[in-house]
A and B are shown apart, each in its own frame.
Chain A
Amino acid sequence: MLFESIKMSYENIVRNKLRSFLTMLGIVIGVASIIALITIVQGATNSISDQVTELGANKITVNVMGTPLKQGLNQEDMLNISEEENIKGVSPTISGKTGIIYEGKLMENVTVQGKNEVYFNMDTSLLKTGRSINILDLNSKNQVAIIGSDIIHELYFGVDPIGKDLVINGTSYTVVGTLNASSGFSMGSNNESVIIPYTTAMRSLGVKNISSLDVFLEDTSLADDTVTDLKGVLNPAFNYKENAYTIFNMGDMIESFESMMSMMSLLLAGIAAISLVVGGIGIMNMMLVSITERTMEIGLRKALGATPKRIQLQFVIESIFLSLVGGLIGLVLGGLIAYTAAAFIGIGFSLSIATILLAVGFSGLVGIVFGYMPARKASQLNPIDALRSL
């Protein structure tokens, strides 16, 4: 019975090709715009969160404001933290701005960062040439420096900087390594930085406490537990004073960014859904016209024994058929638009199953909702009047 109805719907739609196509167009446009918008926003979200992840989703940063009695972390605190579970390593950051000199050339306002060996171990792509900081450098407070690409360009243009000297804040250092130029986010860029052992930096910059610490995680999914553990170490260290420190979880940021983007894609899809409603009204209009045209047919079918339900089913199926076909065309079209746009903007393209189901489900729903009223009208036609209308 269902098959018969579907076959009849198909025949009727094919018979009025142009009209069916124009009717479907509304749904095609609606579904295409939903698919395209969601997919593009999704692609952009994925690209951005991939980049953010590169910056370190496996990392928790502790920033210390300190208390009057204890202004920052010391070696012992660092050791306590690194002994907690799920921690691969901790890397402090001592940061300052100062002038640097090589062979009489001065570069002002250069960021000098004190780091340890963990910093380089966690991201092996940092180092371009030479060596990174080792334990010996840290213990002996060696005056060695690893320099960023902009520094090489400014001070060591045309020479290999490895083994050359560099005067930082009046003290002479030896360049032992260079950093890869990093693109992307300026907040993560080391291009204009000089990295020295943090112990050396504390002495050189006159810093007594560590105010920023990167904690690298074994398992990112346990980040929340680790944050709790860190608080367990830091709270007693700061004597349970409030606002002594902040913990910044990169994973949290990515999460909230992603939820923001998915809100945005929902919003866009919602706007596009309005065009689906317009398309649905088009379908309803066509169904009403079709029913008027086929009054005699409906009357005859009723006289031959078609129940009202049967007639209603027939027309609802016809409406669903129209909107589903429109939905599928829209799906392909929207996919193509998103694919082209993704290639053009330079973001990833991935059409998710959920998006496809959403579009198909939505267009089917439009068919049911906007087909129901005309179909009901058809089913209630009086067969006598319908037969007489010829």
Chain B
Amino acid sequence: MTEVLNMQNISKSYYMGEEELEVLRKVNLQVNSGEFLSLLGPSGSGKSTMMNIIGCLDIPSSGKYLLSGNDIEDLDETELAFIRNKEIGFVFQSFQLLPRLSALQNVELPLIYAGLSSTERKERSLKMLDRVGLVDKTKNLPTQLSGGQQQRVAIARALVTEPTILLADEPTGALDQKTGAQVMELFEELNHDGRTIIMITHDIGIARHAKRVVNILDGQLSEQGVQ
């Protein structure tokens, strides 16, 4: 099994005025390809910071982070953007779809930044919308879709670049229980197809869908064990 993510002694501090706030304390995490991992913790535990660092939106204060073998320590903004585009598929709690773009156009967005031609973008996006079961909604605007459908569009957008890791932040947080469960079902299916998923949540019920649960509390990780 290939290692896709390796964090060694990752720390992250913020400065609140004079005061130093240590959000992550010497975190070690290793994720192999094909894993479905959930990062479980209450708010303020540092899980958002973990997500930002895993997603290369932020860089650690100290420690070593290898993503698909790339050391992200010395990368500049532009290089980080390329890494995000190629390696990470983001799924957010509130979907973050652009309201004026159709479902298809939303899914196409990351492919624009990957530099694909419009025909290739359309082809891949349609395929991905089909995969999440929304092939008949391609022209709909986000407002014309239900919450569950919107999250499916967001998942299609996250997966359309074939990223190394699907990184989901409270993916069911804005959904009712039933649609939330459907989204989790989709995650399980995707994982079954070999997709590596890291899901950040505070909900133990949701976290249980993952094969591996890692607790985060006060900036430190503790493994719950593989289910």
Contacts and interface: CB of A to CB of B under 8 A. Distances in A.
Interface stretch (B35-43, B65-73, B78-86, B133-141): B78-86
A136 interface: no
Contacts, number: 56
B179 interface: no
Contacts of A305: 81-82, 84-86, 110, 113-114, 161
B110 A304 contact: yes
B61 interface: no
B82 A307 contact: yes
Contact of A303 (B84, B86, B112, B161): B84
B57 A306 contact: no
B155 to A, nearest CB: 13
Nearest to B99: A297
A13 interface: no
B94 interface: yes
A383 B57 contact: yes
A4 interface: yes
Interface residues of A, number: 21
Q: Could you tell me the dominant secondary structure of chain B's interface residues?
A: helix
Contacts of B81: 302, 305-308, 310
A306 B98 contact: no
Given A11-B100, A387-B92, A390-B94, A304 B113 contact: yes
A390 B96 contact: yes
A4 B96 contact: no
Contact of B98 (A4, A297, A302): A297
A304 B85 contact: yes
A384 interface: yes
Interface in A281-310: 296-297, 300-310
Interface in A354-390: 383-384, 387, 390
B94 A303 contact: no
Contact residue range for chain B? 20 to 34
Contacts of B78: 307-309
A304 B81 CA distance: 8
B57 A303 contact: yes
Contacts of B96: 296, 300, 387, 390
A301 B77 contact: no
Interface string A263-297: 00000000000000000000000000000000011
Contacts of B110: 304-305
A15 interface: yes
Nearest to B82: A305
B120 interface: no
Interface of B: 52, 55, 57-58, 77-78, 81-82, 84-86, 90, 92, 94, 96, 98, 100, 109-110, 112-115, 157, 161
Given A305-B86, A305-B110, A384-B52, 18 more contacts: A11-B100, A296-B96, A301-B113, A303-B55, A303-B57, A304-B84, A304-B85, A304-B157, A305-B85, A307-B77, A307-B82, A308-B81, A310-B81, A383-B57, A384-B57, A384-B58, A387-B92, A387-B96
14 contacts: A300-B96, A302-B81, A303-B84, A304-B85, A304-B90, A304-B157, A305-B110, A307-B78, A307-B82, A308-B81, A310-B113, A384-B58, A387-B92, A390-B96
Top 8 A-B pairs, shortest CB-CB distance? A305-B85, A305-B113, A307-B81, A304-B110, A307-B78, A300-B96, A383-B57, A305-B84
